[in-house]
Structure 1
Amino acid sequence: MATFAIGQKASFSKTITESDIVQFAGLSGDFNPIHIDREYAKETRFGQRIAHGLLTTSLLSGLLGMHLPGKGSVYLSQTLRFVKPVLIGDTITAHAEVLSFSEEKRVLTLKTDCFNQNGVLVLEGEAAMLVPREEASA
């Protein structure tokens, strides 16, 4: 049976590409020109296209589903605060840290943050995950 310790950490990194943004737009249906249209985006406060906030958030899904708590876990909730924009070419590192674990309910609460390649916080939040009672065989 998997057990978790307060303060236990994991991270996962990915560089955001033009292709990621186009594919996420197609998948989500979010073709907001701030993400897709270079000319439009030049006139915004950011001066260039930015990644979808939920594209950045999806890195947390990969981290939590594959690393901590890992396979078999299921999202119960996620709070989010978008702090800074993510740009094409940014390498984003998603971090998770265990805040609490209810052995009885099998609910893990984690601090979730994403930072860019310069160590700048771009997203912060907290997740609750339901973890399996037994690890599935590999």
Structure 2
Amino acid sequence: MLQKSRKQGRLITTLTVGEKLHITEKMDDKDLLIYLGLTNDNNPLFIQHDYAAITSFKQPIVPQIMLNGIITAAISKHLPGPGSYILEQTIKYVSPAYHYETVDFVLEIEHIDEIKNEVLIAVTAINSDKLQLLEGKLKVSPPLI
């Protein structure tokens, strides 16, 4: 059987402390609806404008796990890339993201442990008003081969 060549992520020896990845995503209805459909999450805070209007948020917010998904996808696709495995993550959601916002994510390598094949990646996200939405750290094992 023929096998497709697969793109491999970066090995730990090719990564450097301070290296950054910037990702920008717009929080669109289609992405929200796909998430809600896949998870069957019917939290009215995520989709019902009339409900959200009477909360402290005043409008529907983006599910936090969607923001987390953007972060984990960035690790899987780019830094370190395909074959990476997230070992641990801690994320603090500082402010909510709202529907239709544009969110900028920055992932930065803070520490490299070649013996354990682990990198510590810091992540932050801000909206177009420069309001911080989240901050966190992820311990990631880059691909070994």
Per the normalisation by structure 2, the TM-score is 0.87
Runs of 4+ deviating beyond 6 Å? none
The structural deviation recorded for 1:118 is: 2.2
Question: In structure 2, which of residues 65, 82, 86 is the aligned counterpart of residue 71 of structure 1?
Answer: 82
The structural deviation recorded for 1:119 is: 2.1
Q: Distance in 1 between matches of 2:131 and 2:144?
A: 36
1:29 is aligned with what amino acid?
Answer: N
Question: In structure 2, which of residues 68, 75, 78 is the aligned counterpart of residue 57 of structure 1?
Answer: 68
Structure 1 position 82 matched with structure 2 position 93: yes
Instruction: Quote the residue 2:142 is aligned against.
Output: 131
Q: Distance in 2 between matches of 1:133 and 1:56?
A: 27
Give the secondary structure class of the aligned counterpart of 1:86: coil
The structural deviation recorded for 1:29 is: 2.2
Task: List per-residue Cα deviations over 1:35-77 (Å, max 9, x = no partner).
Answer: 1211111101011101101111111012111111111101111
Give the secondary structure class of the aligned counterpart of 1:59: helix
Q: Structure 1 unaligned runs (5+)?
A: none
**Percent of aligned positions that are identical:** 27
Q: Distance in 2 between matches of 1:54 and 1:118?
A: 22
Q: Distance in 1 between matches of 2:33 and 2:73?
A: 19
Instruction: Quote the residue 1:93 is aligned against.
Output: 104
* Higher Rg: 2
The structural deviation recorded for 1:113 is: 1.1
Per the normalisation by structure 1, the TM-score is 0.91
Between the two proteins, the alignment pairs up a number of residues equal to 134
Task: List per-residue Cα deviations over 1:71-112 (Å, max 9, x = no partner).
Answer: 110111110100111111111122111111111211111101
Instruction: Quote the residue 1:38 is aligned against.
Output: 49
Instruction: Quote the residue 2:123 is aligned against.
Output: 112
Q: Assess if the C-alpha contact under 8 Å between 1:33 and 1:40 holds in 2.
A: yes
RMSD: 1.2
